[in-house]
Amino acid sequence: MRIYQWLDSRLNLKPVERTLLDEPIPGGASWIYVFGSATLFLFLLQAVTGMFLAIYYAPTPDHAYDSIQFIEEQVTFGAFVRGLHHWGASAMVVAIGLHMLQAFLYGAYKPPREVMWMVGVVLFLLVMAFAFTGYLLPWDQTAYWATQIGLNMVGTVPVVGEFLMRVMRGGEVLGALTLSRFFAVHVLFLPALLVSLIAAHLFILRRVGPAGPWTDERASLGSETFYPRQVYMDAVVMLVVFTVISSLALLVPFPLTDKANPSDTSFVPVPEWYFLFYYELLKYVHGPLEPLATWVLPMLIVLGMLFWPFIDRNPVRNPIKRPAALAAGVVFLVVVFSLLGISLKNLYAVPRIDPAIAKGRALFYQFGCVGCHRIHGEGGAIGPDLSFVGDKRPDREWHLKHFKDPQSVSPGSFMPKFPLTDPQLNELTSYMLSLKKTP
């Protein structure tokens, strides 16, 4: 308090405090108003974790993949910070989506708040641009080929498509210039734009005020200042969101696929969940109708969202009394979540191999282990059959010690020591433990 009083005596902070905390909320504080603050909190979390990741990240095709591996395996708390950044991106998409849904239902785009809604739509598009540009940075197979598909879609836009695609790639092919360009856009251009528009969004909110509840009866009950109840609600939601994201970062790993290989055209990328509905839509549109899905429909949806305040001229904010607007919103959400559900169902129906197991299997063949050991009838018979070694030797530590120094656990073994790094030891061990009679 003494520090605050000292600063207030010199900077006159009281008017700023009143502007930020004494804003009246029509109808009083509510948990339904927390999504804007949650989105702002998540943006700050993304900015902080992104800055720490950028310290170690190298935006070149030769080093990007290795720098991410270094962050994951060598940097203290590196995997946790990358997990926060990854799951924070998903949480930010959810938060801004819920914020826009709340504004849509409450008719918060009605006069005099049209400009605030339009700025919010642009903010949503910038968040999706963040997701797209950040997806390439790990430079693994999924990142490379998913980005290639996205660029090809841009190329279908008439007249300017080829030009836009070359600008985004930085040349004729997806390569070093593309990666450095995406990195610059992700960490410099987009944050500057987002901060500017957040400031504009908050400025407009201060000028026109919160919309409040959609019914006059609730609004007539009086107003309540932003502090203390709404501040408390926002703080609780921020704490819950951070706890959930931290738990996911600790408990749910986000492994890389193999390093990007432009010559491997057989690789089928899977985008992040928030792009899956669009990924599914593209499966149903082929040939001459393809531009309809790649740019016509997205452009119409974006323009419709942007100018929705001028399309829905009904002055009533109650969604029940806006049946056309409510029906349009319901149809849009049903289509999006139906496509998302179909895509998730199809993805989970396909058996997936743990990347560590796949890498371990590759190491098994790379170091010639197949010459001495047989697995399911394939390989030599000099050493023990490893077809079901995961059942016989389920102890991970035993395998790690065995690969580091075979003599330490199997005296008299003729198996030589191999120059394996710690990640390779873990991958080879994961492969051994996967060799079981039952999955």
* Distance in angstroms (rounded) separating the CA atoms of residues 345 and 340: 9
Number of neighbours of residue 273 by Cβ within 10 angstroms: 15
pLDDT in tens, 37-94: 999 999 999 999 999 999 999 999 999 999 999 999 899 999 999 999 999 999 999 9
pTM of this structure: 0.82
CA triple 170-52-39, angle to 5 deg: 85
What is the spatial distance between Cα 216 and Cα 213, in angstroms, rounded to a whole number? 8
Rounded CA separation 154/58 (Å) = 27
Alpha-carbon span 68 to 60, nearest angstrom: 12
In angstroms, rounded to a whole number, what is the distance separating the alpha carbons of residues 124 and 109? Answer: 15
**Token pair in block for residue 99:** 């914020």
Q: How confident is the model at residue 353 (pLDDT cuts 50, 70, 90)?
A: low
Domain 355-434 fold is Cytochrome Bc1 Complex; Chain D, domain 2 (1.10.760)
CA distances (Å), origin 171, targets 43, 178, 191, 233: 31, 8, 24, 49
Q: What phi-psi label fits residue 171: left (phi over 0), alpha (psi between -120 and 50 degrees) or beta? A: left
Cβ–Cβ < 8 Å for 433, 390: yes
Q: What integer pLDDT is reported at residue 282 of this predicted model?
A: 87
Fold of 22-349: Cytochrome Bc1 Complex; Chain C (1.20.810)
Q: Which one has a higher pLDDT value, 113 or 391?
A: 113
pLDDT digits (tens, 9 = 90+) for 289-317: 888 888 899 999 999 999 999 999 999 99
Beta bridge partners of residue 378, listed in sequence order: 375
Report how far residue 238's alpha carbon sits from residue 108's, in angstroms, rounded to the nearest whole number. Answer: 23
pLDDT for the residue 372 = 85
For the chain, which residues make up each domain, given as ranges? Answer: 22-349, 355-434
